[in-house]
C-alpha cells in the first residue's frame, strides 16, 4: 500500500495539467499500454486513477468496485470525474456513452456478464477481447464487465497471448490499430 497518502497526493499534483475546457486533470507522467497514467512507488507501478480512488474516493473500504471515468479520458485523474462503480453501473455507463460495439448494448452478454461472472473465456472470445482492446476505444475494465471478467482477468488474457505487446508495437510505429 501507499505509505503516506499526502505525499502520494502531492506527487500526483506535480504531474497535473488542467484542461481549461473539460477541467480534466491530465496526467503528464508515464502511462502504460492501456493508456492509463502510471505512477511508481517502491518498485511497483500503480494506475493513477486507481490511486486517486484510494486517496480520495475511499476505494479501499469498497472491495470489488472499480474506478471509472465519467469523462472518458483515461489520463484524467480529477476526483470529480471519477466514480466507483459495480460491474452493472459501469456497463450501463459504457452503453449510455455508446462505447459498446456498433452502439448496441448486447443484452445477452450484459445479462451473462452481470449475473454470471466467470474466471474463463473461450477461444473465440479471446479473439473478440483482443480485437476490442486493439481498437483503443475500450478500457480493460469495460471489456471485462462485458465478458464477466475482472480488469485483471482481461489484462492477463492480453498479456498471455502477447496482445499487449502488439498494441505497444503498433503505437510505437504511429499506426492506428
| Closer residue to Zn ion in complex, CB, 67/76 | 76
Instruction: Give the shortest CB-17-to-Zn ion separation in angstroms.
Output: 12
Instruction: Give the shortest CB-81-to-Zn ion separation in angstroms.
Output: 3
Site residues, Zn ion (CB under 5 A): 24, 71, 73, 76, 78, 81
| Closer residue to Zn ion in complex, CB, 85/148 | 85
CA distances from 113 to 6, 10, 28, 139, 156 (A): 37, 38, 34, 16, 18
| Closer residue to Zn ion in complex, CB, 81/145 | 81
* Residue 72 main-chain phi, psi, to 5 deg: 65, 15
Four-residue CA torsion sign, 145, 148, 151, 157: negative
**Distance, CA of 86 to CA of 99 (rounded, Å):** 17
Instruction: Give the shortest CB-70-to-Zn ion separation in angstroms.
Output: 7
Amino acid at each position: 500500500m501507499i505509505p503516506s497518502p499526502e505525499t502520494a497526493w502531492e506527487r500526483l499534483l506535480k504531474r497535473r495539467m488542467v484542461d481549461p475546457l473539460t477541467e480534466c486533470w491530465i496526467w503528464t507522467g508515464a502511462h502504460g499500454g492501456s493508456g492509463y497514467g502510471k505512477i511508481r512507488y517502491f518498485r511497483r507501478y500503480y494506475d493513477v486513477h486507481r490511486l486517486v480512488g484510494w486517496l480520495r474516493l475511499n476505494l479501499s473500504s469498497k472491495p470489488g468496485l472499480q474506478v471509472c471515468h465519467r469523462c472518458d479520458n483515461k489520463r484524467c485523474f480529477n476526483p470529480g470525474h471519477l466514480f466507483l462503480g459495480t460491474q452493472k453501473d459501469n456497463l450501463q455507463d459504457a452503453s449510455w456513452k455508446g462505447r459498446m460495439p456498433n452502439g448496441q448494448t448486447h443484452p445477452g452478454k450484459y445479462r451473462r456478464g452481470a449475473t454470471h461472472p466467470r474466471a474463463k473465456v473461450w477461444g473465440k472470445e479471446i479473439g473478440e477481447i483482443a480485437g476490442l482492446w486493439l481498437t483503443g476505444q475500450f478500457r480493460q475494465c469495460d471489456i471485462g464487465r462485458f465478458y464477466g471478467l475482472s480488469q485483471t482477468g482481461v489484462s492477463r488474457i492480453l498479456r498471455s497471448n502477447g496482445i499487449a505487446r502488439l498494441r505497444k508495437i503498433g503505437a510505437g510505429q504511429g499506426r492506428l490499430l
